[in-house]
Amino acid sequence: MTHWLDRLLSPRTIAIVGASERDGSIAATTHRQLLEREFAGAVYSVNPRYDSLHDGTCYPSLAALPEVPDLVVYAISGLALEQSFAEALELGVGGILVYAANHVDGDSEPRLTERLRLKAAAAGIPVCGGNSMGFYNYDSGVMVSFDRPPAGRPAGHIGLISHSGSGMTYLANNDARFCFNYVIASGQEIHASIGHYMDYLLQQRSTRVIAVLLEAVRDVPAFIAALERARLQSIPVVITSLGRTAKSAQFARSHSGAIVGDHAAFAALCRRYGAVLCRDADEMIVTAMLFAAGARVAGGALASMLDSGGMREQMIDLADDIGVEFADISPATVAMLRAHLEPGLEAVNPMDGMGALGRNSQQTFLACGRALLDDEQTGLLSFEFEFRDGFSHYPELFESARQLAAHNDKPVVLINSCGFTAVNETAARLTRDGIPVINGIDVALRALRNVIRYRPAKSAAGAPPAPAFDRARLDDWRRRLAGEAMPGETEALSLLEDFGLPAVDFALAESLAELRAGVSGFDWPLVLKTAAPGIAHKSDVNGVRVGIADAAELEAAYRDISARLGPRVVAMPMIAGGVEAALGMKNDPQYGPLVVVGCGGVLIELLAERAIRLAPVDAAEAAAMIDETRLARLLAGVRGRAPVERRALEALLVRFAALVLEFADCIDEIDLNPVIVDRDGCRIVDALVVPARRGKD
């Protein structure tokens, strides 16, 4: 089936506008590279200053060409680019590649890049760039770039998309272990986004994994659609997101807003659609290499063989830091290891086989590796021994590795513990033979963790079904939230209660007499808080009194708070005991509401104490969120305390996540902190609702 990007990325005819023969120019480099790589189609030179170039005719304009080209490559910039760009669109070319960054001194609004975007969108013609270094199509051997990929590099199975041109060349042009079918520098994405390129790659039979060096998602629907398609095709997507430092916290008015940075929404999106989010480009490309080699883990954990006790200790330490579990091997496997290891070596996983080296080492590691691979708890095997290009103490271990790789369908990976070891030639050869080689134990463990955790899709990844709410009541609250003022605590609690969330009983008062009447049906002790408008966090202004035991204490507390903060207060029964949890929401402008759960009270501000998902969530996801935090241990009971009703909190989280989705158009942030969870259920004790800011960007 023809794809929208076919003529852009697999062109049969190419025109280079701004053609030149000057050595080092981007136009000449592009042209010569196409000829050197034996591009089978026509390459037309376009430049009104020349009659001939590159031993052929040079045309004054695109309209003068003998045919409409599939791809137009612009080696010019500014207003000259804009004029020719319009000509290309009018001719109906198949695609356009723009090298220039399109910054014009004294440019008018809209800026050049936006003008090009609007014109290309109206014409329906894809544009790679601007500020692009082009693309490599290894499947067809078409290299359209002013950079030079290494000669002789075979086609592979990694589809690489990079916003950064330099990032593209660093990843694609260095280590021969990493072999690609396509490499695309998307740049400014004038009229083709990351999601469109992903969709194209997913139609190529050669694609086994997609790697994305990402700066921004400019077309969210296209990106999500591509993630979902990749998930359903069981093609992993590995992503490094650049510029992920949170900058929005300084503008947040709730605790939830402050602890959910800009990157958290993107991470939640990746989690929902099964994309693998990597810390850096090294982790991303190594993970992609493993997936491209066919590494898949149906279940189980890591088994490992090493030739060094010290390197084994380092691996154990780093695995604990990174979150990699070692397989709990069976007694039968232990017995097999013991039968082949030298006396004094432990029959454990990870296994140190140092004593075998030099004494039938090939057979010892082969037998032990087979035993580990056959163990039901093993998902994959890593094998570490010392080697570098041109040298190995024990070259026979390469043959052990080859036989282990063929033993069953579980992946076998060779690891060199030090990242600086010169193993490029050896590693490239072994990786092409189906035995991936990774330099550096830290990046190796992070990549192995990614492979172990990846699971093909069983069904579509769309949002889980959400509870239904009364439409008339929703519309009524939307009208009430449309005002400029932020709702007070009592109004926030009333909103929650109206939709079946367990809010605590409360009494609102503006005088001592009203307060006494309002609490007449409550059991002591009580909590008294200021309800003065505009105070988001009452404890910060000493506006909360807890443990009020009788009427006299209530009067004293009221007089103090009202004298400092005004007469408006709210009183409620104090829920003694239980575990303090916190729920929250931040409405991300790109991806929608995110829900947060973690330890409540002051612990909400400890960033390690929260789990974040896109709304809505189902019961299983709610349980998984709680398990990610230390809140799970508190709910289960610690230091002799009885466990509390965790399922009530899970149910609240599900309903809360559904509710915030309904209010995505009119609420920016919500805090429910604390939520007291005890043996009878849970109660929302305090709530803060921040309406959507009107007129925001």
- pLDDT single digits (tens) 37-83: 999 999 999 999 999 999 999 999 999 999 999 999 999 999 899 99
- Helix ranges restricted to H, 512-550: 512-518
Looking only at the bridges linking them, the beta strands covering 209-214 and 237-241 are parallel
Please compute the mean of the pLDDT values over residues 230-247 and round it to a whole number: 87
Rounded alpha-carbon distances, angstroms, from residue 52 to 13, 22, 48, 59, 136 = 18, 13, 10, 8, 27
323's CB contacts (< 8 A; 6+ apart) are 449
Q: Has residue 250 got a pLDDT over 50?
A: no
Residue 459 lies in a domain: no
Cα radius of gyration (the chain) = 31
Is 60 exceeded by the pLDDT of residue 164?
yes
d(CA 52, CA 50): 6
Of 290, 312, 330, which closes a domain?
A: 290
Q: Is the pLDDT of residue 526 over 60?
A: yes
Question: Are the CB atoms for 354 and 331 separated by under 8 Å?
Answer: no
What CATH number should be reported for the domain holding residue 267?
3.40.50.261
**Do the domain assignments include residue 101?**
yes
**The pLDDT value given to residue 358:** 55
Same domain, 269 and 321: no
- 339 and 255 within one domain: no
| Residue 36 counted as domain residue | yes
Q: State the pLDDT at residue 603.
A: 57
* Mean pLDDT over each residue of the chain, to the nearest integer: 91
Mean pLDDT of 2-25: 96
Q: Which of residues 290, 324, 346 is at a domain's end?
A: 290
Residues 446 and 513 in one domain: no
What would the mean pLDDT of 113-120 be, rounded to a whole number?
A: 96
Is residue 551 domain-shared with residue 427, that is, in the same domain?
Answer: no
The per-residue pLDDT for 32 is 95
At 535, is the pLDDT very low, low, confident or very high (cuts 50, 70, 90)? confident
| Amino acid identity, position 613 | R
465: confidence class by pLDDT, cuts 50, 70, 90: low
Closest by CA position to 15, among listed 144, 200, 140, 189: 144
What is the predicted pLDDT for the residue at 448?
98
C-beta separation of 410 from 373 below 8 A? yes
DSSP structure string for 228-254: HHHHHTT--EEEEESS----GGGG-SS
Q: What is the pLDDT of residue 389?
A: 86
Q: What is the pLDDT of residue 253?
A: 44
**Are 677 and 557 in a shared domain?**
no
> How many Å apart are CA 78 and CA 441, to the nearest integer?
48
Tokens representing 549?
């035991």
User: Percent of the chain beyond pLDDT 70?
Assistant: 94
Each residue's pLDDT tens digit, 501-510: 999 999 999 9
Antiparallel, parallel or unpaired: β 526-530 and 569-573: antiparallel
Asked, for residue 258, whether it belongs to a domain, the answer is yes
Residue 567: give its domain's CATH number.
3.30.1490.20
Residues 532 and 406 in one domain: no
Does 322 lie in the same domain as 265? no
Task: Fill in the amino acid letter for 61.
Answer: S
Residue 226 sits in the same domain as residue 334: no
Question: What is the pLDDT, as a whole number, of residue 390?
Answer: 83
Q: pLDDT tens for residues 550-597? A: 999 999 999 999 999 999 999 999 988 899 999 999 999 899 999 999
Does some domain include residue 523?
yes
Is 313 inside a domain boundary? yes
Q: How many domains does the chain have?
A: 4
| pLDDT, tens only, 181-200 | 999 999 999 999 999 999 99
* In the block, residue with structure tokens 């491209």: 292
pLDDT at 604: 57
**276-290, 511-525, 601-615: range with lowest mean pLDDT:** 601-615
Which of 416, 435, 453 terminates a domain? The answer is 453
Question: Are 302 and 285 members of one domain?
Answer: no
97/159 same-domain check: yes
Residue 334 lies in a domain: yes
Residue 595, domain CATH = 3.30.470.20
pLDDT at position 251 is 47
* Structure confidence at residue 356 (pLDDT): 59
591 and 565 in a common domain = no
Query: What is this structure's pTM?
Result: 0.90
CA 195 to chain centre: 14
Confidence of residue 237 (pLDDT cuts 50, 70, 90): very high
Of 663, 682, 660, nearest to 612 by C-alpha is 660
Spatial contact of 41 and 144, defined as CB atoms under 8 Å apart: no
Q: How far apart are CA 588 and CA 174, in angstroms?
A: 38
- Per-residue pLDDT at 421: 84
Residue 276, H or E segment: strand 276-278
Q: Are residues 512 and 630 in the same domain?
A: no
**Domain that residue 341 falls in:** 297-453
Q: How many CA atoms lie within 13 A of 569 on its CB side?
A: 31
Predicted confidence at residue 255, as pLDDT, reads 45
**pLDDT at residue number 607:** 42
Interior/surface letters 683-696, b for 16+ CB within 10 angstroms, e for the rest: bbbbbbbbbbeeee
Answer whether residue 481 is part of any domain.
Answer: no
Distance (Å, rounded) from C-alpha 651 to C-alpha 384? 47
| Confidence class for position 395, pLDDT limits 50, 70, 90 | confident
Check residue 456 and give its pLDDT: 82
